[in-house]
Chains A and B, each alone.
Chain A
Amino acid sequence: MIDRRVVVRGAAGAAVLLIAAELAGRSGLIDPVLLPPMSTVLAGAAGLLADPEFLTDLWGTVIVWATGLLTAIVIAVPLGVLLGTLPRAELAARPLVEFMRPIPSVALLPLVTLLIPYDHGVKITVIVYAAVWPVLINTMYGLRDVDPVAKETLRSFGFGRLAVLARVSVPSAAPFVLTGVRLAAATGLIVAISAELVAGGTDGIGAFMIRAGSGYRTDLILAATLWAGILGLLANMLLVRVQRWAFRWHTERTGA
């Protein structure tokens, strides 16, 4: 389980940062309008939970993020299984993947905005673009790393290729797929908020920040940032839980 000393040290580190930020604001070292004291930010963050406007924005981000992530999974997992099982298809697709993967998905915003007239659709599209790659690559590697002895075992009993794929390759690659989903979730949130900041739109944490910024409410910008961070943290914790629970066989064996 989690080491208690790790928790204590981690909390100490966070406390030092919070106190330093608090002092910087209070002492006048930094203009409190630019960097409000941490206590103000934390109080603001708590207050936001009672603010229906912010909740609508928070929900807007969660919706595009989750929809984008799910769509990416639906696209990338079957594609990864296909490319991971057919080496020729993988060779043909590799240059394309290597070229498209590094394109920052936010750079696609101007084009996507022209193509899709619908605000959430634009955001979901760029999230899908960013989230597809980690899932795709991890699925492909997971399938390529399936133990040949495991496959031959089932094959020797007379099972066909499709049965071996479904009963051996896919289950054995599943933990890698979930790792890809975890990476994609983190990337997806970054892209969701970036898209909201760049493209604006009606709702979203990013849209909230822009509105707070136009009113010089740096405390609210920071408070919203805090919630964005918490959102990412929660998603990761949830997925780690799923991984531990569903793939105990993998974690126990590899000691991961």
Chain B
Amino acid sequence: MLDVVNLSHTYGEGPNAHQALGGIDLKVAEGEMVCVVGPSGCGKSTLLRSIAGLIRPTEGQIRIRETTVADTPGDLAVVFQDYSRSLFPWMSVGDNVALPLRRRGKDRTARRAAAAEALEEVGLAAASSKFPWELSGGMQQRVAIARALAYRPSLLLMDEPFGSVDAQTREDLEDLVLKVREHHRMTVLLITHDIDESVYVGDRVVVLTRSPARVAGELSVDLPFPRDQIATRELPAFVHLRAEVGRLVRAKKESPPVQV
């Protein structure tokens, strides 16, 4: 479904140039949930922004369902880390969720109904007429997730979506994403620096090297569903996987890609 081939990106030119991505190959299958992990500042966000069409990569190709991404594809949704900046403060929660649906050619009534349904799904049915800034951080990120859900994207991109909330809220949001993804059979690419999180929510974890980022290795996560914050995390397989991911994240750049 998503095909990233030899993707490279360099910011700036000449002596100040900074190569963020150094040839990334990545595939995401239909209905798969892939987590991309890497040391902070390694270019994870650059990868996501390239896939979303927000920046044009210097080299390489991105294909979504066999169509090459040139401009913003229009059939994906992004959940950003910074919900307070990503939600529009002048609009009610309901209007925030409904706005992107204009791109789907829905009329006002249909947009409202879809927004209400999505808010219901993230447990915020009652907050529709509030403003985003009247809600807690965790609730705001739920609104952002509802906005992405309502859009019914063929690919959902999440950029450190739980990076700005407290630990308890983080676990709730992880479980929420697992639930809605299961329900809608969505394809998700989630970027995180948190090793435990990548193993807990992913079907597959792709580890990037330090910048310029390349794929250091990847692991299939064959942990049973439904996942549970306590039970899953104490499985020997979980402990083993997070150790493997941890090793890859810490590995020196020179070491050859590992396939597990």
Which A residues are closer than 8 A to B by beta carbons?
Answer: 147, 149-150, 152-159, 167-168, 171-172, 174, 247, 249-250, 252-253
Q: Quick one: CB contact mask for B57-75 with A, threshold 8 Å, 1 for yes?
A: 0000000000000001111
Q: A249 near B151 (CB under 8 angstroms)?
A: no
Count CB-based A-B contacts (< 8 Å): 60
Q: B82 near A157 (CB under 8 angstroms)?
A: no
Q: Could you tell me which residues of chain B, from 75 to 107, have a CB within 8 Å of some CB in chain A? A: 75-78, 80, 82, 85-86, 88-90, 99-100, 103
Measured between beta carbons, the chain A residues less than 8 angstroms from B72 are: 155-159
Q: A156 near B77 (CB under 8 angstroms)?
A: yes
Q: Does B238 touch A at the CB level, under 8 Å?
A: no
A149 and B100 in contact, given A155-B54, A157-B74, A172-B90 (Cβ under 8 angstroms): no
Q: B78 near A153 (CB under 8 angstroms)?
A: yes
Q: Could you tell me which residues of chain B, from 115 to 155, have a CB within 8 Å of some CB in chain A? A: 131, 133, 151
Q: B82 near A156 (CB under 8 angstroms)?
A: no
Q: Does B53 touch A at the CB level, under 8 Å?
A: yes
Measured between beta carbons, the chain A residues less than 8 angstroms from B76 are: 156
Q: Does B52 touch A at the CB level, under 8 Å?
A: yes
Measured between beta carbons, the chain A residues less than 8 angstroms from B103 are: 157-159
Which range holds the interface residue count of chain B?
20 to 34
A153 and B74 in contact, given A167-B99, A171-B88, A249-B89 (Cβ under 8 angstroms): no
CA of A157 to CA of B101 in the docked complex: distance in angstroms? Answer: 9
CA of A241 to CA of B139 in the docked complex: distance in angstroms? Answer: 30
CA of A199 to CA of B76 in the docked complex: distance in angstroms? Answer: 63
Determine the residue in chain B with the shortest Cβ distance to A159.
B103
A156 and B131 in contact, given A149-B82, A150-B88 (Cβ under 8 angstroms): no
Which B residues are closer than 8 A to A by beta carbons?
Answer: 49, 52-54, 72-78, 80, 82, 85-86, 88-90, 99-100, 103, 131, 133, 151, 157
Q: B90 near A249 (CB under 8 angstroms)?
A: yes
The binding surface of chain B is classed by DSSP as loop
Rounded to whole Å, the gap between the CB of A149 and the closest CB of chain B is: 4
CA of A156 to CA of B54 in the docked complex: distance in angstroms? Answer: 7
Measured between beta carbons, the chain B residues less than 8 angstroms from A156 are: 52-54, 72, 76-78, 157
CA of A171 to CA of B131 in the docked complex: distance in angstroms? Answer: 15
Top-8 shortest CB links A-B: A158-B74, A149-B85, A157-B100, A156-B78, A249-B89, A153-B86, A156-B52, A249-B90
Rounded to whole Å, the gap between the CB of B159 and the closest CB of chain A is: 10
Rounded to whole Å, the gap between the CB of B87 and the closest CB of chain A is: 8
Rounded to whole Å, the gap between the CB of B176 and the closest CB of chain A is: 19
Measured between beta carbons, the chain A residues less than 8 angstroms from B157 are: 156
Measured between beta carbons, the chain A residues less than 8 angstroms from B74 are: 157-158
Besides A147-B85, A154-B100, A156-B52, 14 more A-B contacts (Cβ < 8 Å) are: A149-B80, A152-B54, A153-B80, A153-B86, A156-B157, A157-B72, A157-B100, A157-B103, A158-B72, A158-B73, A158-B103, A171-B88, A174-B90, A249-B133
Measured between beta carbons, the chain A residues less than 8 angstroms from B75 are: 158
Rounded to whole Å, the gap between the CB of A146 and the closest CB of chain B is: 11
CA of A156 to CA of B99 in the docked complex: distance in angstroms? Answer: 13
Measured between beta carbons, the chain B residues less than 8 angstroms from A147 are: 85
Determine the residue in chain B with the shortest Cβ distance to A168.
B88
Q: What are 17 inter-chain pairs, A to B, with CB distance below 8 A?
A: A150-B88, A152-B49, A152-B52, A152-B80, A153-B78, A155-B72, A156-B53, A157-B100, A158-B73, A158-B75, A159-B72, A159-B100, A167-B99, A171-B90, A172-B88, A247-B90, A249-B89
